[in-house]
Each structure stands twice: as C-alpha cells, then as structure tokens.
Amino acid sequence: MIDGNGVILAVNQHWRQYALDNGLEPGRVPPNTDVGSNYLSICAYGAQADSLAQEACSGISAVLQGRLPSFSLEYPCHSPGRLRWFNMVVMPLGHNSQGGASITHTDVTAIKQADERVLQNESYLSAVFDSALDAVIGMDDQGHITDWNQQAQAIFGWRKDEVLGHILHDTIAPAHHRAAHHQGLTRFLMTGQSDLLNRRIELTGLRRNGEEFPITLSVLPFKTGNGYRFTAFVDDISERKRDTAALQESEQKFRLIAENTSDGITIFDKHGHVQYVSPAVMRQLGYPEHEEMTRTNAEVYAIMHPDDRDQVFAKIDEAVKDLRESLTYSYRVKHQRGHYFWREDNVSLIFDSKQDYGGAYVISRDITERKRLEQQVHQMAYFDALTGLPNRRMLGDRLSQTMALSKRSGRHAAVMVLDLDNFKPLNDQHGHLVGDLLLVEVARRLLSCVRAVDTVARFGGDEFVVVLGELDVHKAESRAQAQLIAEKIRA
C-alpha cells in the first residue's frame, strides 16, 4: 500500500520475498523497499535505465493523480537462477485516489511460458501445414474454406486469399458432384453419420482452369464450442494413375507376346523362386497350359539331366559373380512323360543399383530337332555313312589323339592297314548291295576284335585302318600285343 505521495504504508510477506529475490546482492533485501520508503523513488531510479520502469512510474503517478482509474503492466524480472515475468496492477484506494493506491505484483511466469509454447506449437504446425505434400484445407460447418496451404494452391491453382470464405465443394469439385457433397455435409450435421469422413477415398477434383483430375480425399471432423470444423487432405493422383495405366498396358503387351510365342518365358526372383511361367514352357514340358508351376531352383535342378545339372548351375553362378547381363546354355530337361529333350536358355540377369542380384528372365527354346540335325551333320562329316566307322577325317583326329596320349603316358601305339582280297570281283559279280553288306560285316568283326580305346576306321573302298593305343611301355611287348590282335582279326 502507498499513500498519495507514493510512500509505502504496508507490505505483505510475499512483497518482502519478492524484494529479497530481486535485490542486487543475493540474500540481502534492497533499500527503500519497506514501510516508510517512497515507492515512486524506486521507480524513478529504475526509469533512468529501463523504459518499463519509466512506464510503471508514470502509470502509478497517473492513478494517484486520478488521471487513470487503474494501471497494469507485464514486465520481466529475471533472477540469476531463472527467467520470470510479473504482472503489476495499480488500483486506487478511496475516492479520487486520495487515500493512495494498492500495488500487486503477480508472478505470471507459468502463463507466459505456456503462451510461448503455444506460439511455438502454432509456428511448428503452421510450418508443417504449409510444407505438407498433401493439399490441406480447412472448412467450417457451413462448407466455407477457412484455411488453404501451399500444396492446395499448387494442386488446384487458387491462391489462399482468393478462396477463403468460399464454399469448398463449389471450388474444388466438378459441378455434377457438388450436390452430393452438400447433401453429405448436411446429413452429417443432422445425424452425425457420414460415408466420407475418417477414411480415404478416390474422387474427381477440379482445377482452376476447369480440368478434372483424379484425387484421393480424406476429411477429419473436429467438435468445437461453436460447432464442427473439418480438415480435408487431398492428394493429386493423376501421375500415379497414368503410371498405373502405362504399367497395365505394358503387362498386357508382355502377356500377349509371352502367351503367343513358341519360346517359353520364365521369370525368377532373387531367391530362385519362379514368378511367372508362360504357356509355351508348359507345352514344352508336357503339362497343361493352365496348370500352375511354382518351382524353386531345387525343383528346376531336379528335372535337368543328371549329366547337365552341375555344369548349367556353375555357369549361372559364374555369370552372377561376374555381374554379366546375359548368358546362353543348352541342356537336357525331363518331359512330363519321362523322356529327356534338349532345351536352350537365353538368360537376362537383373542387378540393382548396388549390383546385388535381383533375379532373371529366361527365354527357353526346344532345340531337340536342331541337336538331331547337328548330330546328323557331325555324323556325315566324320563317320562313314555305310559302316558307321570313323572316316578318313576322323581317323586323322584319332591318330593325333593317340600319339599325344602315347607321348604323355610313355606307352606305345600301333597302326594296322588292311584291305579285302578279291573284293572287286565279288562286287562286280554280285552287285554293290552284296559288296556293301560285306563291308558292314567286316566293320562289325573288326570292332569285335579290338578294345574300347582302339579305333577302327574305313579309309576308303575296301581299305580299313586299325589304331591300337595304350599298349605296353616296352616295344617288344607292344609288338606282341599288336600281333595278337592282328591274328585275331585274320582268324
């Protein structure tokens, strides 16, 4: 309490603690703060360096002089240990302030800090609101737009100042959908029921230029003291729709090609599981085209010919290790009926950006007929058509192999050349058919007289060559072995 001249008449214990906490010297009550001191002199002293103190001094004087009915001021008063804010209220005592005034100082630190947190949260929410990837739109229960973020402007083309206060569905919905939006809002306000709120649905939006486009929309309601408020989240899915349509078209083209080509197509994932098998693969293997085939690498391994399995998978492993984009190999695979047939695979390997293996596309072709023709060509080139024995060309290869093997092993080899006596008169008298039968029988008997490592070749006409390999390391013993076989042939 102060009198009309500003002299302190009475103080409470809270004031004394306040003075003690805010003194210049910790633990000592500052001067001129107790009864008998002039409060205005304290303000005047502080006013020399502090504009708030000057304002406080002027306000107190105005109340004491009757120029103001009351005065209040919020000010910081920070102690060494913490930040604090106070609110000072000056009220007159008696009529026309002739009795002085009461001055109260209320600690409003908690309120001030709460206000600052609210401002920080509002600032954070505002930043989130404006940087959201979805269009975020506020609406009241009359359908008027109350808020509009930057993404809403980017999607719909309207600036915030152009749409605030406008009806939402008249702004962003095509004309033929607006009545349904209005009816849905009315129904919710009357019954609390809605088919739209609290879930994401696909609708059609309207841009400022009149373009209709696909969107996803979710609307959240909020109950307030003045009714409902709504927040709408809108995502432009035009690009996603175009990408989906392009992907579907690509898949349709792929299936059209895959299901009508004679080559089989199989897609494996990175774990070796089959993701797709074309009908041609099923036809090649003898299964119905509609039957599902979800094989793993182990099952694919099992239907390969035992002599081809390890070689094929070794090639695949090597290609993956070397990061090769493609490879080709052929192998025999088991038909559903139990027999094996030849197949050739052209494989495209998939690697991701980290060069990790991601799977493979395999195009398979039945090459059984090609293999048969290749074998036939090889047979014609290197074997005698009548007797099936190696011909002169193959004989040269066999001689080279035998000589190389003899050099490595130290064992001797022998070559015998023989022909048929009186073959020409027999051939002329009885015809070529009989002569051919004789040559075939000679070939059969020669083969029965030699070992598996030896070679019997038809050199031409009625001439034959026998190559004996892997005889003894001693020349004499080798000659004896060769003579033994020669006598067996003559017999």
Could you report the per-residue pLDDT of 49-74, keeping only the tens digit for each? 678 888 888 888 888 888 888 899 98
Q: Give the max Cα distance, the chain.
A: 166
What gap in Å lies between CA 444 and CA 448, rounded to an integer? 6
What pLDDT, on the 0 to 100 scale, is given for residue 76?
84
Domain 383-490 belongs in CATH node 3.40.50.300: no
The residue extents of the domains of the chain are 13-112, 132-236, 261-371, 383-490
Tokens of 441: 């029988």
Tokens of 2: 């102060």
Q: Residue 438 is encoded by which pair of tokens?
A: 């004789």
Q: Are strands 227-236 and 145-148 parallel, antiparallel or unpaired?
A: unpaired
For residue 53 the two structure tokens come to 């103190």
Residue closest to 386 by CA, chosen among 447, 438, 429, 426: 438
Please state, in angstroms and rounded to a whole number, the distance separating the CA atoms of residues 240 and 215: 10
Buried b (16+ CB within 10 A) or exposed e, 368-402: eeebeeeeeeeeeeebbeebebbbeebbeebbeeb
Instruction: Report the C-alpha gap between 25 and 207 in whole angstroms.
Output: 68
**Which CATH topology does 261-371 take?**
Beta-Lactamase (3.30.450)
* pLDDT per position as a tens digit, 437-478: 999 999 999 999 999 899 999 998 889 999 999 999 999 999
pLDDT at position 291, please?
Answer: 66
292 sits in which H/E element: none
The beta-strand segments (E) located in 128-187 are 135-140, 145-148
> Which pLDDT score, from 0 to 100, does residue 199 have?
84
Question: Would you identify the CATH topology of the domain 132-236?
Answer: Beta-Lactamase (3.30.450)
Interacting residues of 385 by C-beta distance below 8 A, sequence separation 6+:
none
Q: Assign 221 to helix, strand or coil.
A: strand
Contact (Cβ atoms closer than 8 angstroms) between residue 174 and residue 206: yes
33: tokens are 């703060």
Q: What is the pLDDT of residue 80?
A: 62
CA 27 to chain centre: 66
Instruction: Report residue 160 as tokens.
Output: 């915030």
Tens of pLDDT along the chain (491 residues)? Answer: 888 888 888 888 888 877 777 766 666 777 777 888 888 877 776 656 678 888 888 888 888 888 888 899 988 877 666 778 888 899 888 766 567 888 888 888 888 877 777 666 766 666 666 666 788 899 999 999 999 998 999 999 999 999 999 999 999 999 998 998 888 888 888 888 888 787 888 999 999 999 999 999 888 888 887 888 898 899 999 998 988 888 888 888 877 777 777 788 888 888 888 888 888 888 888 888 666 555 666 677 788 899 999 999 899 999 999 999 999 999 999 998 999 999 999 999 999 988 999 999 999 999 999 888 888 888 888 899 899 999 988 999 999 999 999 999 999 999 999 988 888 888 888 888 988 899 999 999 999 999 989 999 999 888 999 999 999 999 999 999 999 999 998 87
Name the DSSP letter for residue 121.
H
DSSP states of 30-79 as a string? PSS-STTSBHHHHHHHHHTT-HHHHHHHHHHHHHHTTS-S-EEEEEE--B
Round to whole Å and give the CA distance between 467 and 457: 8
Q: Is 215 helix (H, G, I), strand (E, B) or coil?
A: strand
pLDDT tens-place string over residues 281-331: 888 888 886 665 556 666 777 888 999 999 998 999 999 999 999 999 999
- Which of 98, 70, 100, 217 is closest to 155 using CA atoms? 217
Amino acid at 77: C
Residue of 327, 142, 139 whose CA lies nearest to 234: 139
Complete DSSP assignment for 397-444 = HHHHHHHHHHHHH----EEEEEE-TTHHHHHHHH-HHHHHHHHHHHHH
Cα separation, 94 vs 91, whole angstroms = 10
- How far the first Cα of the chain sits from its last, in Å, is 151
Confidence at residue 157, expressed as pLDDT on a 0 to 100 scale: 94
Beta-carbon contacts of 476 under 8 Å, excluding residues fewer than 6 positions away, are none
Fold match flag (132-236 vs 261-371) = yes
What b-and-e string marks burial along 60-89, b requiring 16 or more CB atoms within 10 Å of the CB?
Answer: bbbbbeeebeebebebebeeeeeebbbebe
- pLDDT computed for residue 110 by the predictor: 83
Beta bridge partners of 73: 88
pLDDT attached to residue 275? 85
Which two three-digit tokens encode residue 283? 């036809």
DSSP SS3 for 191: helix
| pLDDT, position 50 | 76
How far are the Cα atoms of 18, 50, 59, 109, 114 from residue 75, in angstroms, in the given order?
14, 11, 13, 10, 16
